[in-house]
């Protein structure tokens, strides 16, 4: 039984490792597709002329917010666009949210 559990654990670790390593190639393809116009993006959600756009999340969602922030900066000429962990936004709201700005 112990041997089976150990082998199963190794298989899971290998899957995770392969998943992580594959991210490099996946992001290269996404970047290339976006830059070369192979992907059509509807950026109308930003049509309200925001002063700043904040992407935030926890864990995997935070990783996604980093990607969203990167591509938003790449595709749009914005005054400010950044990503932060949700906990940072929750704990230090006054540092990131200014009353005179449109978010």
Q: What is the pLDDT along the chain (103 residues), one digit of tens a residue?
A: 555 655 556 556 677 777 778 888 888 888 888 788 887 767 677 667 788 889 999 988 898 899 888 888 887 776 688 999 999 999 999 999 999 988 8
Q: What pTM, to 2 d.p., does this model score?
A: 0.63
52 and 24 within one domain: no
29 and 51 within one domain: no
The DSSP output letter for 92 is T
State how far the Cα of 53 lies from the Cα of 73, in Å rounded to an integer. 10
Contacts of 82 (CB under 8 A, 6+ apart): 52, 53, 54, 55, 69
pLDDT at 57: 93
- In terms of residue numbers, what domain contains 26? 1-39
26 and 4 within one domain: yes
């Amino acid at each position: 039984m112990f041997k089976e559990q150990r082998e199963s654990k190794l298989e899971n670790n290998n899957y995770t490792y392969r998943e992580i390593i594959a991210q490099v190639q996946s992001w290269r393809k996404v970047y290339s597709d976006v830059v070369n116009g192979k992907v059509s993006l509807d950026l109308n959600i930003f049509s309200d002329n925001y002063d700043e756009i904040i992407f935030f999340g926890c864990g995997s969602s935070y990783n996604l917010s980093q990607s969203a922030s990167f591509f938003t900066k790449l595709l749009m000429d914005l005054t400010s666009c950044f990503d932060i962990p949700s906990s940072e936004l929750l704990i230090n709201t006054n540092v990131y949210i200014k009353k005179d700005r449109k978010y």
